[in-house]
Amino acid sequence: MSGRDLPPFRKLSEFLSFLESEGDFQRFEAPVDIHLEATALHRKVIAKGGPALQLTAPRKGSKSDFLAPLLVNLFGTRKRIANGLGIRPDKLPELGEFLASLRSPQPPKSLREAYKLFPMAKAGLNTRPKRIGSNKALEPTDPDLCQLPVQTCWPDDAGPLITWGIVITRPPGADDPRTYNLGIYRMQVLGPKTAIIRWLPFRGGAQHYRKWQQKGDTMPVAIVIGCDPATLLSAVIPAPGDVSELALAGIFNDTPSRLAPCRTIEMHVPESAEIVLEGEIKPGEVALEGPFGDHTGYYNDAASYPVFHLNSMSLRKDPVYLSTFTGRAPDEPSVIGDAMTDIFRPILRQAIPEIVDVFLPPATCSYRFAVLKIDKSYPGQARRAMMGFWSLLPQFSMTKYVIAVDGDIDIRCWDDVMWAIATRSDPERDLLVLDRTPVDQLDFASPVEGLGGKLGIDATIKIGAETTRSFAEKLTMPAEVEARADALFAGLQATSPAGRHIQ
């Protein structure tokens, strides 16, 4: 990976200008209600592969004097996700290979190989964030969350929800950006200066929160709504090893992340921020969050999470408020998840070499279902691959169903996968069932919140000690016969009677 294909996007407006030049960004002047209507419109746009959409006249009932227009569907296509990382879509697998090399670099064997390592060395230099004195592009305003066009996405939602805020946290101690965690956590707005932050226990923000709780100290928190696209995407990409989100952003931007100090708390935020919320979480203070519509296609149960108190709010001149919705696919999380598969596939193959390819069907809430194509050479290998997959990344520990198939199966073709299950697996022998394992807390199918089962299906041809029977030979036609048949079929199409053309 030699670097970016596209010019640098130092802030969100530069990225939007690029998208506009590509015919991939549209401003919509008609008034759109942020209560349900914006989500309903967004769903229709993303289902058609439509552009990033700036709603210039958001309203809530009769209120329309918000501080910023509403930007939705920013990463609603694979192309815009790749562009946000500075590359064209066909370069996503190459980017994944590069990130895998950062995880386990190999020493050069020659001067030529050493020269090829220059991009990796440059990336290493870009991983350390750079602090600047101040950010003159941001101006403080009255801290009032109700002045932002915060959407209510679904009819039975508990209230307005900030959905694309980058929540920045750090552990107790000195302010060191190298220790920061950047995560996208939803925030239920309770009033002008309070909101609830919802994070799952294994997320970085929750881990920092527990450390502050143990000390009994107030936790500083900064939220960035809108910034340069690479930093936004870095907050949702599974990072290799211990590489931080800010380090990833530096790699994608081909320059170190520039951070400006907050006004009221000892923290720093990206210089490219559109809107910055500064505040704190007090020890032991929680509130009931939810229910909200979620990526499962259902409303999740209400549960208690920490309360965020807003101290300061700063905005860029002519800011935009970035938002999205979560629901049954297609939504932005499912599109991002599908594109991210290209990035983490090399990391997966590096850790488990027999895995040739992986597919997480977006329709199955992305990470809840995985199909693995493996290069099988010994008995039990499919089970090893499935257990290794569950253990590799925290996200994969939430995957309920894993199917392992042979290299001749097209894992993106459901007919092929079902054929492999039907003809290569036996329920008595080939089901790997685990119980009381971590699952998504939003999974209503699990008998206990946060704990449930997992099912692995070995749909590979059985070899060696796996079976006492020899497997049947697969039906195939000689290549030369297939080529001749293609020519004959083309002639058949050309001579078909009118109205009976063979498709």
The single-letter DSSP state of residue 164 is S
Q: Which long-range contacts (CB under 8 A, 24 or more apart) does 264-269 make?
A: 264/311, 264/312, 265/220, 265/221, 265/222, 265/311, 266/175, 266/220, 267/168, 267/170, 267/175, 267/180, 267/220, 267/221, 267/222, 268/129, 268/131, 268/175, 268/177, 268/222, 269/135, 269/168, 269/222, 269/224
Catalytic residue among 294, 331, 440, 443: 294
Q: In what order do the strands lie in the sheet with 369-374?
A: 355-359, 369-374, 401-405, 451-459, 431-438
User: H helices of 352-402, where?
Assistant: 381-392
Among 188, 190, 191, 213, smallest CA distance to 199 is for 188
Q: Which residues pair with 194 in a beta bridge?
A: 191, 309
Q: For residue 129, what are the contacts with CB-CB under 8 A and spacing of at least 6? A: 177, 178, 246, 247, 250, 256, 257, 258, 259, 268
Q: Residues of 260-276 as b/e, b for ≥16 C-beta within 10 angstroms?
A: bebebbebbbbbbbbbb
Label residue 43 exposed, middle or buried (CB < 10 Å: 0-12, 13-18, 19+). Answer: middle
Rounded to an integer, what distance in angstroms lies between the CA atom of residue 124 and that of residue 445?
43
- Concerning whether 435 is annotated as a catalytic residue, the answer is no
Rounded to an integer, what distance in angstroms lies between the CA atom of residue 57 and that of residue 39?
15
Neighbours of 309 (CB within 10 A): 15
Pairing of strands 355-359, 369-374: antiparallel
Nearest-10 Cα torsion for 74, 75, 77, 83: 100
Q: CA neighbours within 13 Å on the CB side: how many for 177? A: 23
CA separation (Å) from 105 to 100, 101, 172, 249? 8, 5, 32, 19
Q: Residue 484, SS3?
A: helix
Rounded to an integer, what distance in angstroms lies between the CA atom of residue 14 and that of residue 226?
12
Tokens of 35: 């209560």
Catalytic residues: 294
